[in-house]
Amino acid sequence: MIEYLPRSKHRSELYLTQFGVEDCIPGHYYGPAVREHYLLHYILDGEGIFEVGGSRYHLRRGQGFLICPNVVTYYEADAAAPWSYCWVGFSGTQAELLLKQAGLTMGSPILQYDRDDMIYQYVRWMAESKDYLKAREARLTGLLYSMLSLIVEFGPVVSPSEGDSLTEMYVEKVTDFIEMNYAQKITIEDIAHFIGLNRSYLGSLFKQRMNTSIQEYLVRYRINKACEMMDNAELSIGDISRSVGYSDPLLFSKVFKKLKGLSPKHYRGGGGF
C-alpha cells in the first residue's frame, strides 16, 4: 500500500508527501538513487540492509532508516528473511530540526524504536484519514507531528552543543516565537517550554550566539515594533502599548524611554495616553 500526496499549499513548516506499507519479496531493492524529500522507513518484521555515505547497516524489526533529500542511498531486503516496513515521506522548514531532535541526521540515519507498534499505528491512521472530507490535510499533518514527537521523546538525548547548526536552529526558534507572540504576555519560561529545553540552558545558548539575553531581545523587539506603529496616527500610545505586550502604558513608557532616550509622547512628537 502506498499513497502519494500533493504538495501542501498551507503547511510549509511540515507536510506529508507520501506514506505506505510494504511486504518485500526476497532480495527486493531500491537504488542507488536520491529522493527530493525526507523518507523514514520503519521495519515491522524481517531484515535487510541500508547503505549511505559508504556505510552499510544490517537492520531488523524495531529499527528504521532515514533517507535525506538529494543523498544517494541503497536498500535491499534480506534473501532469507525479507523485511516488511512502513514509511512516511515528508518535507518542510521544520523537518530537519525535528529529525535532529530525534538524533536522526545524514551522518546518523538509523532509528531505534522497539517500545510498541505506535509508528505503524500512525501510518494506519494516515490511511484511514480518507474518511475526512474537508480536513484530511490537517489530520495528516497532525499525525505526522505526533509520530515525530514520539520518535523525539524516546530517541537519544541530543545536546545542541554537539553542533553549531543545531544551536542556530534553537536560537532561530526563539526569535520566530517572539516575532509571532510578542503582543502576548509571554515569559521566558513559555519560550523554553515551546522549544523543549531547560530555561537556563536555552538562555545561555541564546546569549552566546546573540550577545544578549532572551529577555533583552524580547523587550527590544517590542519597543522597535512600537516605533513602527508610531506613524499610525489612529493609534494612541495606550493602543500601541497594548499591541506590543504591555498592558500598563506607564510601564511601557518607562521601558521605551530607557531604550530610546525619549518618552513615547516626545518620540512621536505629540499625543498622549
What is the C-alpha separation between 135 and 45, in angstroms, rounded?
33
The band of 167, judged by pLDDT with boundaries at 50, 70 and 90, is confident
- Residues facing 33 on adjacent strands: 73
Strand order in the sheet with 73-77: 29-33, 73-77, 47-52, 55-60
User: Can you give the pLDDT at residue 134?
Assistant: 86
Residue 264 reports pLDDT greater than 60: yes
Residue 46 reports pLDDT greater than 90: yes
φ, ψ at 33 (rounded to 5°) = -160, 170
Domains of the chain as residue ranges with CATH = 2-153 (2.60.120.280), 160-273 (1.10.10.60)
For cell 536522526, name the residue.
104
Segment 182-200 shows an average pLDDT of: 88
b/e 171-187 (16+ beta carbons within 10 angstroms → b): bebbbebbeeebeeebe
What is the C-alpha separation between 248 and 229, in angstroms, rounded?
17
**Percent of the chain whose pLDDT exceeds 90:** 65
What are 50-108's pLDDT values in tens digits?
Answer: 999 999 999 999 999 999 999 999 999 999 999 999 999 999 878 888 898 898 998 89
Closest to 98 in 3D by CA, of 34, 144, 134, 52: 144
Residue 233 reports pLDDT greater than 90: no
The rounded mean pLDDT for the chain is 89
User: Can you give the pLDDT at residue 271?
Assistant: 44
Query: Are residues 230 and 240 in contact, defined by beta-carbon separation less than 8 angstroms?
Result: yes
User: What is the DSSP track for 238-254?
Assistant: HHHHHHTT-S-HHHHHH
Instruction: Output the pTM of the full model.
Output: 0.63
